[in-house]
Structure 1
């Protein structure tokens, strides 16, 4: 067999590939009109996306500009070439065609290089491909805003993380936008469990990149289950971890096959999420094996630098978002390790534990092939409660669900600390986890502890230092044993609006200078400190 393989590798590439349709990415050398777009940012990004960049001190760059139109059109009009997807961040198109036709495109002066999905066709190709397990999932009434939920069946999965403490403080995701990228969302448009989202216009939109259509309430029901762990609401029976967040729903995964186009679809969805101003993305998908084994990855590829989606994931992080991603379900399999895009350096990769905080044996192992700790942290993913596509509350298994359980908590935590960057929020969670000083290959840093974060940052409400009423019309009253307190007020973008010393009076502090909206108030006296979200009417 080894001799036979040797003979095959000595044959010229065209001998076996010249008539076979191949997947490839063609990269362009520049963006001639990039400066025009950068000078007019609203032609590329929404104001919400720009606000997220400004808040974190992130500048626009050439990656934000679209692919040059004439380059796109010239490739599109090339006989024998089909364009399947495009990425402005990568300045690349995902194309199909024969090896010969695709290779000839490299002669165009605006083409930087071409990468074939079959890495044996690249000049630095990898000669060995092995079979691996792929997807991390198995095809398997209006609620008033409140600070005290009856989580019902979902109690353990949020209390394990301490996420209910955020809800008690009023951080339920109301100021956050989450994108869920998955295989489909059937019945989210009519199930009672998602009525709160619909009645309050919390579903802002979405797209079906598989069918190139606006209908995202279709496809595999996996996405419906995933969304339920973040935003499902069944009174007294189930509440997700970010019940008041707003959502975009994107279908990128074709559950009937496993092809590289799904990575490119994912990149398109993440770019769309960025442009719309999304804060946090949940991805309960992962890739290692493709239907064409020549396209599959090997463990050496799990370095965050090889896979198209993983490279794009790091660009997404550089735009100021947090990407929460399933580690994978290969812990018991020959493959064993995390997949794509969970291997990306700046993706927040989530493993799974059972209700008793013990690691689930199916949860994929790290580290990455270049030695980085993955997964980052863990949440409940064995016997975790979900709401299925017919509205039933049931248990399921997979890092597909530990990821959204934690994703909602991430969004609420960021809402509590609006002046922190995406990296700072992720670091808070890692450092709070129970294995931070002794991370393992399967659990990473362990299970985060939101209560610990809130206590260490003195954000948990202290009964000796309180503010009221909330909502407030004019005067915000302060209860303190001290005669003088320091008060700082920030808008939701983290900009300081007020900073003054205040002497307690019966009337409180006049907020007439504030327009209606949501603000973060931080008050410090001689002994205590508290932070609260308030609504100015």
Structure 2
């Protein structure tokens, strides 16, 4: 009898929980739009304004905050709880019964309602998890210790040697919690340098982002980028600056976490961050009525993926872990890794081979490749909240390892646009000409990406001519008038030297007929300067 009563009680509780629905309430307008855009410092930080100007991003109505009068009124509506807000979407995430939420359509400032349970909508969703499947000023010559493989795999160590360690790049990390980051020895260097910026807990609505909330995932993620333990552990961007935002409630799965994420991304944009890193992914929920399908992973369906795309439009480089569903029936990348506007990172092991848990690309991503690139996520080295170095599996870690490496790369290329940085990373990867759904474009060589980017100089190209490109057999070179002799080295996409050649006024071509088809870099060295060019071998 007691067992029967307990089962009935659980059933009753579940009925009550599921009677509560989640929905996005889209609003009709915003206050003082023209005045706010004309005086952007009233709605954005100067750093955010500068970043937008540098990236040719317009300040528009989406940057104007939501009407707080509308939010206050929604909070007074019967049975309604306001959970989150978004200025980009001019939307409020609410929770209540289906009936109470539908009543909101009578409010004159409500434009439309989109239920997380798609079957409750009168029209379809606007269309066109925490990676919980985690399986446990001189040249800087770091001793990497445990992280040597995961740093060297993407050639971030050569960036560090050139004094590019993420200095001046600001990263916002969205995750499940960052316990003890403010006290751990592993982040002492970060704190001493003033690079641990403030954060916010969007789930519990407080500033104590370092409290233990049942999950240490964010601490581990941050460690792969920012931690430093002398001679034992070095992250891929130890000198970048970091904002920490908790957007994931590890105790449950609910669409409100998508709204928390978008709200945090908006906060990051207002603060002027350069990059967002997230190892969160959404596909299914505790309430199966909210579930997405693999076919929805096209960047156009989920609230969080559309929000990530707006973040990219605002000039932020968004780096997302692809997910850990490769060996499950779901298989494909989750949201927001499905957005074509973010850089999605899959996982390989220490030998650079695909690991089975890493989520794959699929037919849902029409005309674009997912994942974009890969880094080590198989038995990657991380640090937990007790300052213990350990190994965990998951694209949760390949994503931030790559994000930190890109932060170091971007320091070396401060004038590059986010989209250009993404292209440089993809083009430097090991299988750029033959991408697949497992590794995407492959393992990037970030130092080669830097060389590629620095070679794009129109004045140099006018003086230093090479043709034809693409080339089948002989690559011809015309030297600038002031250059009599140069040495040239040809590298493949892995950065390996494969051919050495000398050029002068008598020797002005090189036979590349024996090279396999693909993309190559040729680095010229003269007494005056170094030049690097990219060419394609047919």
What TM-score, normalized by structure 1, do the two folds share? 0.79
4+ residue runs of structure 1 moved beyond 4 angstroms? 16-19, 524-527
Aligned to 2:250: 255
Where 1:230 maps in the other structure, the secondary structure is: helix
Aligned-pair CA distance for 1:309: 0.6
Aligned to 2:289: 294
Where 1:250 maps in the other structure, the secondary structure is: strand
Residue 439 (1) aligns with residue 430 (2): no
CA RMSD of aligned residues (A): 2.3
Aligned to 1:210: 203
Where 1:196 maps in the other structure, the secondary structure is: helix
The 5 A counterparts of 1:355-374 are 355-367=350-362, 369-371=364-366, 372-374=368-370
Which residue among 191, 194, 218 is the counterpart of 1:198? 191
The whole-number CA distance in structure 2 between the counterparts of 1:309 and 1:125 is 17
Aligned to 2:55: 56
| Unpaired stretches in structure 2, ≥5 consecutive residues | 1-14, 457-481, 484-524, 533-538
The whole-number CA distance in structure 2 between the counterparts of 1:308 and 1:419 is 31
Residue 185 (1) aligns with residue 186 (2): no
Residue 278 (1) aligns with residue 273 (2): yes
Aligned to 2:216: 221
Maintained 8 Å contact 2:18/2:287: no
Residue 451 (1) aligns with residue 447 (2): yes
Aligned to 1:398: 394
Where 1:395 maps in the other structure, the secondary structure is: strand
The whole-number CA distance in structure 1 between the counterparts of 2:17 and 2:432 is 52
Aligned to 2:486: none
Distance 1:95 1:283, change over 3 A: same
Which deviates the most, 74-83 or 57-66?
Answer: 74-83
Aligned-pair CA distance for 1:530: 8.1
Aligned-pair CA distance for 1:169: 1.2
Which residue among 158, 163, 179 is the counterpart of 1:170? 163
Distance 1:257 1:199, change over 3 A: same
Aligned-pair CA distance for 1:77: 2.0
Aligned to 1:116: 115
The 5 A counterparts of 1:415-494 are 415-458=411-454
The whole-number CA distance in structure 2 between the counterparts of 1:33 and 1:59 is 17
Aligned-pair CA distance for 1:108: 2.6
Where 2:245 maps in the other structure, the secondary structure is: strand
Where 1:269 maps in the other structure, the secondary structure is: helix
Distance 1:360 1:139, change over 3 A: closer
Where 2:426 maps in the other structure, the secondary structure is: helix
The whole-number CA distance in structure 2 between the counterparts of 1:420 and 1:303 is 27
Which deviates the most, 38-47 or 145-154?
Answer: 145-154
Aligned-pair CA distance for 1:95: 0.3
Q: Deviations over 1:336-370 (max 9, x none)?
A: 11111111121110000001010111100113614
The whole-number CA distance in structure 2 between the counterparts of 1:221 and 1:139 is 14
Aligned to 1:528: 529
Maintained 8 Å contact 1:63/1:88: yes
Which deviates the most, 61-70 or 83-92?
Answer: 61-70
Aligned-pair CA distance for 1:137: 4.7
The whole-number CA distance in structure 1 between the counterparts of 2:296 and 2:357 is 21
Aligned-pair CA distance for 1:269: 0.9
Q: Deviations over 1:218-255 (max 9, x none)?
A: 22111111001001101001100001011111111111
The whole-number CA distance in structure 2 between the counterparts of 1:69 and 1:152 is 51
Aligned-pair CA distance for 1:134: 7.2
The 5 A counterparts of 1:36-75 are 36-75=35-74
Aligned to 2:371: 375
Distance 1:18 1:365, change over 3 A: closer
Which residue among 299, 302, 307 is the counterpart of 1:312? 307
Where 1:310 maps in the other structure, the secondary structure is: helix
Aligned-pair CA distance for 1:49: 0.7
Aligned-pair CA distance for 1:281: 1.1
Aligned to 2:405: 409
Which residue among 378, 385, 404 is the counterpart of 2:381? 385
Distance 1:234 1:18, change over 3 A: closer
Which deviates the most, 365-374 or 110-119?
Answer: 365-374
Aligned-pair CA distance for 1:74: 2.4
The whole-number CA distance in structure 2 between the counterparts of 1:183 and 1:204 is 17
Which residue among 242, 249, 253 is the counterpart of 2:237? 242
Maintained 8 Å contact 2:169/2:407: yes
Maintained 8 Å contact 2:130/2:175: no
Aligned to 1:338: 333
State the aligned residue count. Answer: 446
Where 2:244 maps in the other structure, the secondary structure is: strand
